[in-house]
Amino acid sequence: MNFKLVLLWTDAMIFLLLAVALAGAWLIRQRPHLLLPWQRLFRSRIGMVSLLVLSLFIVVGLLDSMHYRVALPDKNGNGQTVYAAEVLSVFDTLVGDLRSQNEKTYSAPMAVYLYAKESMETADGKILREYPRLKYGGAHLQDPQNEHTGDVLKRSLYGLFAGWLGGVLLALLVVSVAAARSRTTARQWVEARQHTPLNAVLASVILLAMLFGLTANLAGAYHVLGTDKVGQDVLYLSLKSIRTGLVIGTVTTLVMLPFALFLGIAAGYFRGWVDDVIQYIYTVLSSIPSVLLIAAAVLMMQVTIEKHGEWFSSSVERADLRLLFLCLILGVTSWTGLCRLLRGEALKLRELEYIQAAQSFGVSSMRILSRHILPNVMHIVLIAVVMDFSALVLAEAVLSYVGVGVDPSTNSFGTLINNARLEMGREPMVWWTLAAAFSFMLVLVLAANLFADAVRDAFDPRLNRTGDAK
Amino acid sequence: MKSGLLRINGLVTRLHNGARIVDDVSFDIAPGKTFALLGESGCGKSMTALSLMRLLPAGIAIEQGEISLNSKDILALPEREMREVRGGQIAMIFQEPGLSLNPVMTVGEQIAEVLALHQGIKNSAAEARAIGLLQQVGIPDAPQRLHEYPFQLSGGMKQRVMIAMALAGEPKLLIADEPTTALDVTIQAQVLQLLRDTQDKSGMAMLLITHDLGVVAQMAHHVAVMYAGQIIEQAPREKLFAQPLHPYTQKLFAALPDMHLKGQKLAAIPGNVPALGEAAQGCRFAPRCDQAWALCHEQAPEWTVKSDGQGVRCHLYNGRTETRGLRTEGMEQEVQNGATPHSVPSPQHSVLGSNYSVLQVKDLRVYFPIRKGILQRTVGHVKAVDGVALQIGAGRTLALVGESGCGKTTVGKALLQLLKPTAGSVNFSGAEMTGLNPQQLRILRGGMQMVFQDPYASLNPKMRVAEILQEGMDALSIGLNSTERQQRIDVLLDQVGLAQNAKWRYPHEFSGGQRQRIAIARALAVNPKLLICDEPTSALDVSVQAQILNLIKDLQNNLGLSYLFITHNLAVVEYIAHEVCVMYLGRIVERGLVEEVMRNAQHPYTRALLSAVPRIDGDRGEVIQLAGEMPSPAKPPQGCHFHPRCSQAMDICRAAYPEASNVNSTHVVHCHLHSGNK
């Protein structure tokens, strides 16, 4: 199949971040003192399991960030290949029909019938008001009334079993490959890691594989989490929302870090007028209600984007630019907290004797900042970044709910909730969109928070000496 | 045995991982007596006290042993009744008075709380009793102080309030955990006197925890020496000081710097204090003991009680007490004569006022502005350093002595231009250092370096030793290329007595003493002529302090370094310095050769300072008690700064600051008592 790669702005940012993270990991591996807290983190059970869950989300997000446009079968008049206007991602291809199998409107999770009655004409010409069958959900059933429960059970069990098998095979594969690389038998390799969370990780791999098997097998025949107002599969929408959440959580950090880092430690180290200026800036910035500031900036940007439709070759690009700007705005408004924290820490560090020793050698200020202060605040930065991540994912949901967040065409938890809120008052209630967004976001944020906790513990200098505590 | 108020028998306290941090500790305290637990940091003395109170931190538990107070088993009491015991029968005061009082409650409220709990006294009766208690601990204007908050009190005052709170419950036993470590000597003398007086009046027993032999000599009736969780020697004070039995105790005495050891090496104990709960086979002191033999490394010594009641845990005294005893007495003689293995010739005593002076400071002033109001206008100055003049000859050591807050550290930082002096001149080997821009200053930087007080804060934890040592060389372009610098690092490590493999390790892998060695090597890396040592041993244990003092002396002999030695420890001054300057409130009040100042002090402040230092001979002598505390340098008293605390103050002292008077050509004092001999 012919296709053209599309690199959206946020994609570039995400891959840049990925590269930075990989380079950082490589750098840390070279330095034993940097590696130490990470090794502590790798010994934490909660940390590793939450990292596993988190990395599943990240994989989905990364797959969803590789965009392309398919070539159309017909060439245009000049013989050039024409590409479809629709921008797809690798993730879209992998989930296959989930994307395209749209029903007419709402249907409950695992349903075979639509959620609303419709008038239908029977074979003998009578008009009936009935719940119509779904186009795709459970379409293979001949007699849904009797077969439905049995079929769901059968598919669930089959999915669970296949998932279990896959999980066990994967675990065995990982263990045997790792054992082969360290030239021991698999048994020895596992036994040598009795005090590591290896068992917990392997158990969660199997559990997640079972969950995956269950969902995948059911999703082939049903809408596992139902469909929304226009009949789109909610599971698909939720999965697509993950990327938006991740982009907001990470790219915003990328934007805010330079401000917070440099301004924070410069204010704390230099004191005097530098400190005054920086303090005034962030005090003013943080006293403006941030929702207002964000709303104003987003609306201005929206007007600009609409005026210049010619800038974009597809609607996806337009939505993407809006997402990027949202990240920028969130970044510009959210650096103050970390900056204040770092200023305080730098104030403390500058009085330490090793800084004064460096000053008495005549070491330049920039070098003191980069060699003495920056490495000694990095643990705070790391903890703050991991903790901010979940806050930003939640902030996006709130902003999109208020209507100043991402483009309505972008899938995000916020837009999902916004669309679902009106239907909460309906009788019978349409609960699944909200429930799906809620549970996905809960799992993502919970995993991020637990991971942040584990990171904080691992980097806490006061806990360093009690390595045998638990 | 005698009727003990408190009996501890075979107390074992363990960490959750099984390490014994208090190991088989037994002692008795008689009513009205003071029992001292003496030991270096991490030997388990505070944990013993917390075990008594049953206030051990989480993860540490009493495993076995008996603790009985008035024949009542404390360990068997339910928590409800234990609360009655704490404060009611056993009270405790802590090291840091600033952290032991609740900052949001007035002094009166905090005392009233204890009174209500343990005495059932409330309201106006409690207030009256609290005033009585504050007067008892010597706080002036007690009724007024009652309504003040801790931040309004000075350190010595806070410790007095802590003692008043402890006394409020009328305890039978007072546990004092390093009660004066955070205080200045003159304040320490006041607090120790207060503790003795209170004990005389109330007849309570006292458990004194300290690392300071001088304090023990002044206070204790009975002493137990702790090492690595065990009591290794226990005796009445007179006996212990007359004849210490255990090699560790002997070494502790020998490691104390003193005047008559000048020019000799201190008998430092090699190695470091073992970490808390470090498991050991055999005697725990064996690795550092120069009298250890094979048995010491294999078998832990039993507790041996000599016929005169002096107990010791050492193989030297096991069974064949007499022969072994003779041998130690011989050892002791050696130690007292100071004939330690390595005796070094005293440094080349250059003539005083050697014609070549490395550093010449004239009229140095450092003022910090006090700003007030919206416009931050300067309304006054804190005169931290107010007209200091110094001169240090090549290869000489000048000690700058004073209590905390007198401005001695500020002098050190101003000399290095880490703080900008307000006025004055700093002439360093012929070059003026004040008023230079950073580039011009950098050229001079290498000549003068600083060794800081806290070895835990003076090394960047994220840099390896080699990087730490190289930083100064990089900044000042010493050494042509990196191989040359690496070679120099090897030499430096060797000079300060560290192994070559220390190069690629991080500071946290070293003990306090070793870190201080690294800090000294860092300063030496740029070939300084003058080292400013800011209390370099005050954060170290006595046995390690001796190692560092020896190193500092050796370096002076080998490299001809000059030192400005900033300290509050007069014993160290006597041992290491050639000349002394005594500082009070930003000004030097007396200067002279060390013998002159230490033996023949002229200024009333110097005399008070010297008399306040607890001596290990237990000779309380005539301690000149100084009234009150050092005033704030923002509002120095009119006339002589010292007159409000001086017992010999005259009218003229209140009117004018005394000019310099020469006692002789080298001895100068600022005091109206001596203004005759100008």
HEC assignment per residue over chain A:
CCEEEECCHHHHHHHHHHHHHHHHHHHHHHCHHHHHHHHHHHCCHHHHHHHHHHHHHHHHHHHCCCEEEEEEEEECCCCCEEECCCCEEHHHHHHHHHCCCCCCCCECCCCCECCCCEEEECCCCCEEEECCECCCCCCCCCCHHHHHHHHHHHHHHHHHHHHHHHHHHHHHHHHHHHHHHCCCCHHHHHHHCCCCCHHHHHHHHHHHHHHHHHHHHHHCCCCCCCECCCCCEHHHHHHHHHHHHHHHHHHHHHHHHHHHHHHHHHHHHHCHHHHHHHHHHHHHHHHCCHHHHHHHHHHHHHHHHHHCHHHCCCHHHHHHHHHHHHHHHHHHHHHHHHHHHHHHHHHHHHCCHHHHHHHHCCCCHHHHHHHHHHHHHHHHHHHHHHHHHHHHHHHHHHHHHHCCCCCCCCCCHHHHHHHHHHHHHCCCCCCHHHHHHHHHHHHHHHHHHHHHHHHHHHHCHHHCCCCCCC
* Closest to B429 in 3D by CA, of B356, B525, B354, B526: B356
- Over residues B320-325, the mean pLDDT reads 43
Indicate if the pLDDT at residue B627 is higher than 80.
no
Residue A463 pLDDT grade (very low, low, confident, very high; cuts 50, 70, 90) = low
B445: nearest CB among A352, A361, A371: A361
Q: What is the pLDDT of residue B278?
A: 67
Q: What is the pLDDT of residue B589?
A: 93
Question: Which tokens in the block code for residue B180?
Answer: 């004066």
Rg (alpha carbons) of chain A, rounded to whole number: 26
Half-sphere exposure of B180 (CA within 13 A, CB side): 25
Place of tokens 């000075």: B154
Name the residue type at position B161: V
Could you read off the pLDDT of B478-491 as tens digits, one per residue? 777 888 888 889 99
Indicate if the pLDDT at residue B290 is higher than 80.
yes
Q: What is the pLDDT of residue A163?
A: 92
CA-angle at B421, arms to A358 and A267, nearest 5°: 50
* Closest to A373 in 3D by CA, of B442, B462, B450: B462
Indicate if the pLDDT at residue B328 is higher than 80.
no
- Over residues A216-239, the mean pLDDT reads 87
* Closest to B20 in 3D by CA, of B53, B64, B50: B64
Indicate if the pLDDT at residue A49 is higher than 90.
yes
Q: What is the pLDDT of residue B262?
A: 73
The Cα–Cα gap between B468 and B594 comes to 35
Subunit contact A363:B413, Cβ cutoff 8 A: no
Chain A residue whose CA is closest to B451: A357
Subunit contact A361:B17, Cβ cutoff 8 A: no
Q: CA end-to-end span of chain A, whole Å?
A: 55
Mean pLDDT, rounded, of chain A? 86
Of the candidate ranges A70-79, A354-363, B293-302, B328-337, the one whose mean pLDDT is the lowest: B328-337
CA-angle at B639, arms to B633 and B642, nearest 5°: 60
Which DSSP state fits B255?
Answer: H
Residue with the bigger pLDDT between A333 and B354: it is A333
Percent of chain B whose predicted confidence (pLDDT) is above 90 = 25
Residue with the bigger pLDDT between B547 and A196: it is B547
**Residue B37, beta-bridge partner list:** B209, B224
Subunit contact A353:B460, Cβ cutoff 8 A: no
Rounded to a whole number of angstroms, the distance from the CA of B22 to the nearest CA of chain A is 19
Indicate if the pLDDT at residue A341 is higher than 90.
yes
Residues of A whose CB is below 8 A from B461 = 376
Report yes or no: B160 and B198 within 8 Å, Cβ to Cβ: no
- Over residues B602-613, the mean pLDDT reads 89
Q: What is the pLDDT of residue B223?
A: 93
Q: Are strands B530-534 and B448-451 parallel, antiparallel or unpaired?
A: parallel
* Closest to B607 in 3D by CA, of B621, B627, B623, B591: B623
Q: What is the pLDDT of residue B348?
A: 43
Residue A80 pLDDT grade (very low, low, confident, very high; cuts 50, 70, 90) = confident
Could you read off the pLDDT of B63-92 as tens digits, one per residue? 889 999 888 888 888 988 898 888 889 999
Question: Which tokens in the block code for residue B283?
Answer: 């005697």
Binding-site residues on chain B for chain A (CB distance < 8 A): 16-17, 59, 413, 416, 418, 438, 441-442, 445, 448-450, 452-454, 457-464, 471-472, 475-476, 506, 519, 522-523, 526
Residues in chain B: 678
- SS3 labels along A286-306: HHCCHHHHHHHHHHHHHHHHH
Say how many C-beta atoms besides its own lie within 10 A of residue B571's C-beta: 20
Indicate if the pLDDT at residue B511 is higher than 50.
yes
Best residue in B471, B516, B518, B533 for a mutation probing chain A (most A CBs within 10 Å): B471
Indicate if the pLDDT at residue A57 is higher than 90.
yes
Q: What is the pLDDT of residue A270?
A: 92
Residues of B whose CB is below 8 A from A375 = 460, 462-463
Residues of B whose CB is below 8 A from A361 = 445, 449, 471-472, 475-476, 526
Which DSSP state fits B507?
Answer: G
Residue B349 pLDDT grade (very low, low, confident, very high; cuts 50, 70, 90) = very low
Q: What is the pLDDT of residue A368?
A: 92
The Cα–Cα gap between B582 and B352 comes to 18
ipTM of the complex: 0.79
Q: In angstroms, how far is CA B664 from the centroid of its own chain?
A: 32
Could you read off the pLDDT of A170-215 as tens digits, one per residue? 999 988 888 888 888 878 888 877 777 888 888 999 999 999 999 9
- Over residues B123-131, the mean pLDDT reads 90
Q: What is the pLDDT of residue B319?
A: 59
Subunit contact A356:B450, Cβ cutoff 8 A: yes
The Cα–Cα gap between A105 and A31 comes to 57
B418: nearest CB among A360, A364, A376: A360
Q: B364 by DSSP, 3-state: which?
A: strand
The Cα–Cα gap between A377 and A348 comes to 11
Rounded to a whole number of angstroms, the distance from the CA of A351 to the nearest CA of chain B is 10
Measured CA distances, B460 to A233, A351, A368, A372, B523 (Å): 56, 12, 11, 7, 14
Indicate if the pLDDT at residue B108 is higher than 50.
yes
* Closest to B176 in 3D by CA, of B49, B87, B13: B49
State whether the Cα torsion B570-B576-B577-B583 is positive or negative. Answer: negative
- Over residues A309-333, the mean pLDDT reads 85
Residues of B whose CB is below 8 A from A354 = 457-460
* Closest to B402 in 3D by CA, of B414, B391, B412, B416: B412
Residue A402 pLDDT grade (very low, low, confident, very high; cuts 50, 70, 90) = confident
Q: B420 by DSSP, 3-state: which?
A: coil
Residue B436 pLDDT grade (very low, low, confident, very high; cuts 50, 70, 90) = confident
Helix axes A9-30, A315-350, angle to 10 degrees: 40
Residue B569 pLDDT grade (very low, low, confident, very high; cuts 50, 70, 90) = confident
The Cα–Cα gap between A360 and B458 comes to 12
Of the candidate ranges A359-363, B329-333, B445-449, B460-464, the one whose mean pLDDT is the lowest: B329-333
Subunit contact A361:B475, Cβ cutoff 8 A: yes
- Over residues A398-419, the mean pLDDT reads 84
Indicate if the pLDDT at residue B590 is higher than 90.
yes
- Over residues B332-359, the mean pLDDT reads 48
Q: B468 by DSSP, 3-state: which?
A: helix
Indicate if the pLDDT at residue A396 is higher than 90.
no
A354: nearest CB among B59, B459, B464: B459
Indicate if the pLDDT at residue B540 is higher than 60.
yes
Of the candidate ranges A311-315, A462-466, B188-192, the one whose mean pLDDT is the lowest: A462-466
Residue B336 pLDDT grade (very low, low, confident, very high; cuts 50, 70, 90) = very low
Question: Which tokens in the block code for residue A261?
Answer: 């880092």
Q: What is the pLDDT of residue B139?
A: 85
Which DSSP state fits B104?
Answer: T
Best residue in A360, A459, A463 for a mutation probing chain B (most B CBs within 10 Å): A360
Tell me the whole-structure pTM to 2 decimals: 0.79
Q: Do you find a cis peptide bond into A428, omega within 30 degrees of 0?
A: yes
Residue B428: φ, ψ to 5°: -110, 115
Q: What is the pLDDT of residue B355?
A: 52
Report yes or no: A201 and A49 within 8 Å, Cβ to Cβ: yes
Report yes or no: B630 and B640 within 8 Å, Cβ to Cβ: no
Residue A305 pLDDT grade (very low, low, confident, very high; cuts 50, 70, 90) = confident
- SS3 labels along B256-294: CCCHHHCCCCCCCCCCCCCCCCCCCCCCCCHHHCCCCCH
Of the candidate ranges B137-146, B356-365, B610-619, the one whose mean pLDDT is the lowest: B610-619
Report yes or no: B533 and B412 within 8 Å, Cβ to Cβ: no
The Cα–Cα gap between A43 and A62 comes to 27
The Cα–Cα gap between A289 and A301 comes to 19
Indicate if the pLDDT at residue B335 is higher than 50.
no
Mean pLDDT, rounded, of chain B? 84
Could you read off the pLDDT of A367-380 as tens digits, one per residue? 999 989 998 888 88
Contacts (Cβ under 8 Å, ≥6 apart) of A332: A255, A256, A259
Report yes or no: B462 and B449 within 8 Å, Cβ to Cβ: no
Which DSSP state fits B102?
Answer: -
